[in-house]
Chain A
Amino acid sequence: MRIVKRVVARGLNLFLHASRDREMNREIDAHLRLLQDEFERKGMDPASARTAALRSFGSLEGTRESHREARSFMWAEQSLKDLRYAVRGLLRTPGFTTVAVLTLALAIGVNTALFTVYNSVALKSFPVHDAARVVRFERWFESHSQGRIQYAFSWPEFDYVRTRARGFRSLVAASWLAPVNQAKTAASTVAQFVSPNYFDALGVPLQAGRGFLADGPGERAIVVSARYWHRALGSDPGIVGHSLPLDGAVVTVIGITSESFTGTSVNPGVPDFWAPLSLQPVLMRGQSWFGQPTRRTLQILGRLDGSASTAPAQTEAELLIQQFATVHPDTDRTVHVTLPHTSYFPNVDDLRFRALAAGVMLIGGLILFVACANIGNMLLARGAARQREISSRMALGASAGRIVRQLLTESVVLASLGGAAGFAASLWTTRLLALELAANASLVGGDVAAVDLTPDFRVLIYAALISLASAVLFGLSPALRLASRDVASALKSDAGATGNSGRSRLRAWLMGAQVAVSIFLLASAGLLVRGMLRARNADTGFDSRGVFVLNADPGSYDDSPTAMASLKVAVAEKLRGRSEIDSVSIGGVPFTGTWTPPAIVDGAQSSTLGSYASHGYFETLGIAIVRGRDFTPAEGQNSAPLALVSESTARRLWPGKDPLGRQFTLDMNFKGQMKTFEVIGLVRDVRYSNLTRPDPAHVYIAGPGPASTVLIRSKASRETVARVFANLPESLVRNARALNLDDSFIAPMRRISDALAAISAALALLAVAIAGIGIFGVVSFLVGQRTREIGVRMALGANTAGILKGAVVQTLRPALVGSVCGIAMAACFSATLNSTLRFPGSFDLFYGVPFYDPVTFGAIVLFAALLAITASAVPARRAFRIDPASALRYE
């Protein structure tokens, strides 16, 4: 308590410095006066009484100093002094301060914005009550299959665990988002089916009404999301209690979730409404999830008991899931169950996610580095001008440590200003991004648009930390360099008239490094932009314009492969011959996933992309058959052991030979179920797996296999086709929709690559702009500093060529070395990316632009040369214009 009181009093006195000093002086004066009175009474004359009083009192200055020390914090007072000094110094050079703060604001702003996104996606906890105790069930398969299926459990599995587990306060099941039609309009809405305790157990925030009764019988009720309430229900608060006719049942709206609730699904997304699981068979007629032990449609979330740790709950969950499997064996055994904590993006351990995050953060870090190198360089240049001031202070007794502290204070002030501006900029950027996402929700998918980009304390801390780190990064080495100068020689020599060799070497390093990083970013972005330009008019190899994909729920309860296959065949039969439709077939849909089975050709192991096709598939998609023939209708339906292969497959598997009549064997299920096919035709290469490059190998095998769908070609509009699909009998399909291959599959991919290239180009340009500002700033500053030296040399008869050489070499060399390093780095980077392309299905970030792309690299070399020439032209021009007479008068 006493200590607290004193600390507060001392802290307060930091700011009352002047008034406390006045008070102290008054008191000391009064004291001296009394002493003097006393000596006068003893008979001294006033003057000697005064002297005696002073002697008796002791050291005046010492008393004042110890008084100050006792009443306040010395170190803090010094820091405040440093701070005032730094602010005054920065205000004296408004140009430098503005440029430095702006540079930092850009760099810190970009980094903070990137981190805000990362934070929202991977760090923010779940939008439910006490999220720290909520875990998600994740299963690990014997086959090492990964992805969404790891979070999927069947209703009987959930029921089995729920009734037996003791380590959880509650267990909640929630489905993936599923389409449900409204009764009258047939408008499609998205539902999530949940166990009735979903709202209570998780503590989902509601803005009106209530959640489902946790223990009640299945209610005919739904809870709508805030977004759907605004979009479709006119934000009417009176909607609670009203009924809504859905296809299959009339339900009552009993609640509205709050605006901030972004859902709990593994692949993020907010449904239009939540319905109890008991309504699932009613709203999705034709299929029921109950009583099907291997039909995995539910995600399980668990709330741990107050004190329980995850480990025992995990053991219990794993045991129960495995017990269940002994009764209901499945093809792929679950070997482990883990209970990870949940965030918006559930799979943050995913290697691809981590690589992406690391890559983006690396770019941000590089930009920050360029900015720091930049400011460090400007501080060095500024330091050259302040050498006299610093030397004088050191001569007057300031220690080197004190000077370093003072210079660092200046850096911290700069970084804080830059950080604050950057944070503000990041708020604005992410707000813009959120609006953009919301506006394009239909393009990027509601999933992505649902992310909550509001920054929280983590973002603030991050911004503060990187500001501080950059202050040290750009401030420390110039400060050390400046403070270590020999005082005597500094005072003798004229400020800035002679270069300090150590300092100019550091400057050259910094300049070279920032040129290298900028060139690297620019070259990488250049490759991406080139790729983007290609993607805009990349030839897919097929005619996607009039192709429609039937997207529907099966009309049959039986979901065995044979039943599904015959269902597809029946649908195709129904559609064939209709006047609106030119061609019908069954086969794989491009860009919806890849299957790369191991292949054996003439005894050699290989791999290839594969998909199923029926008679007419190549006609429907417009893929030209170069040689050989199509499947006959019978071969297509009966999964004959025949295949058509792409031209590049033929080149890859049978180089220089005729592929027709040759055989290859595929491992159909990755477990050794081999099947041998005979090649009956050769087709053109297409971009099937992704838009970025033609498939390096693709075989089309006969049959209505898994992952194949009914595709049609039509000249009619999407609405017409949708009507035709909707008229298909319910015994075959329900909820039928027509998706245009162009609009629904290809356009989004093009848009994503556009956005990627635009963002990376913007970041690279930012880095180049920052580096450019820095280099020009430093160079022209230096020439300004050297005006006198140059003037002297010219007066002494130095020829302009010699002076020019000196001025130019100083900037040209680091710029050139930096450019070469940057180009080398970019080449390494693109070669690394290129080497990932060996796998047939992998994604080519550069859209087939060769990794040594001569156009990009040529342009970059040209740019680098231009940069170097311009950078050295500035000092050259200024050096030329120096008039010896006026230069000598300069200081």
Chain B
Amino acid sequence: MGSTSQPSEAPRLALLQGTLDLILLRTLETMGPQHAYAIATRLEQVSGNQLRLNQGTLYPALVRLEQQGWISGEWRKTESNRDAKFYSITRSGRKALQEETGKWRRLSDLVEKLLCES
């Protein structure tokens, strides 16, 4: 899904397939309604610039989540009085987040365990 693109920076992480959806949901849950630009900025901040997205790559993920009914979009004004589409997590989105988080935890535990053993 996401990828690094600027050659001058330190080595960065590429996102695992499917994790972007999870991260987007989580971000929207903690921060409330946000537009795509804010989400992208937030992701960069949180990752301490380890993760760098082409901001455009968020869009297919947002479309997917919206079609699944997990988030919903709405046009509003930003603080700087610009138009932007704000996404917020829906009730079924929260439920999905919970399930997906559980799955992710189990998976990462398993990977961790397997890596430690050897």
Contact = CB atoms under 8 A, between A and B. Distances in A.
Nearest to A6: B67
A838 interface: no
B5 interface: yes
B84 interface: yes
A27 B85 contact: yes
Nearest 5 interchain pairs by C-beta = A58-B54, A63-B56, A70-B60, A9-B67, A58-B56
Given A6-B67, A6-B68, A9-B67, A30 B56 contact: no
B55 A58 contact: yes
A57 B56 contact: yes
26 contacts: A5-B68, A5-B69, A6-B64, A10-B67, A26-B83, A27-B84, A27-B85, A28-B56, A30-B37, A30-B82, A30-B84, A31-B84, A34-B78, A35-B37, A35-B55, A37-B82, A57-B54, A57-B56, A59-B54, A59-B56, A60-B56, A62-B56, A66-B56, A66-B60, A71-B63, A71-B67
Contacts of B78: 34
Interface in A25-64: 26-28, 30-31, 33-35, 37, 56-60, 62-63
A45 B55 CA distance: 22
B59 A63 contact: yes
Nearest to A61: B56
B80 interface: yes
A34 B59 contact: no
A69 interface: yes
Interface residues of A, number: 27
B90 to A, nearest CB: 12
A144 interface: no
A2 interface: yes
Contacts of A33: 82
A189 B61 CA distance: 78
Nearest to B38: A34
A31 B37 contact: yes
A70 B64 contact: yes
B68 A34 contact: no
Interface string B32-49: 000111100000000000
Nearest to B80: A37
B57 interface: yes
A67 interface: yes
A27 B80 CA distance: 16
Given A5-B67, A30-B35, 18 more contacts: A2-B68, A6-B67, A6-B68, A27-B59, A30-B83, A31-B55, A34-B37, A34-B38, A34-B78, A34-B84, A56-B55, A59-B54, A59-B56, A60-B56, A67-B59, A67-B60, A70-B61, A70-B63
A67 B57 CA distance: 9
A34 B60 contact: no
Contacts of A37: 80, 82
B106 to A, nearest CB: 20
B9 to A, nearest CB: 13
Interface string A620-638: 0000000000000000000
A387 to B, nearest CB: 39
A254 to B, nearest CB: 61
Contact of B57 (A24, A30, A35, A63): A63
A34 B35 CA distance: 10
A58 B82 contact: no
Interface in B56-93: 56-57, 59-61, 63-64, 67-69, 78, 80, 82-85
Interface centre among B38, B56, B64, B78 (most CB of A within 10 A): B56
B89 to A, nearest CB: 16
Nearest to A34: B37
Contacts of B64: 6, 70
Interface in A1-35: 2, 5-6, 9-10, 24, 26-28, 30-31, 33-35
A26 B85 CA distance: 9
Nearest to A13: B67
Contacts of A66: 56-57, 59-60
Contacts of B5: 58
A130 B69 CA distance: 45
Nearest to B56: A63
A58 B67 contact: no
Contacts of B35: 30-31, 34
Interface string A707-737: 0000000000000000000000000000000
A853 to B, nearest CB: 72
Nearest to B67: A9
Contacts of B84: 27, 30-31, 34
A596 to B, nearest CB: 77
A67 B63 contact: yes
A771 B98 CA distance: 69
Contacts of B38: 34
Contacts of A27: 36, 59, 84-85
Contacts of A6: 64, 67-68
B37 to A, nearest CB: 4
A58 B60 CA distance: 14
A454 to B, nearest CB: 44
A57 B85 contact: no
A69 B67 CA distance: 13
B54 to A, nearest CB: 3
A35 B67 CA distance: 26
A56 B36 CA distance: 13
Contacts of B60: 66-67, 69-70
A656 to B, nearest CB: 95
A221 B28 CA distance: 81
A35 B44 CA distance: 14
Contacts of A63: 56-57, 59
A2 B56 CA distance: 25
Nearest to A72: B63
Interface string B86-115: 000000000000000000000000000000
B82 A34 contact: yes
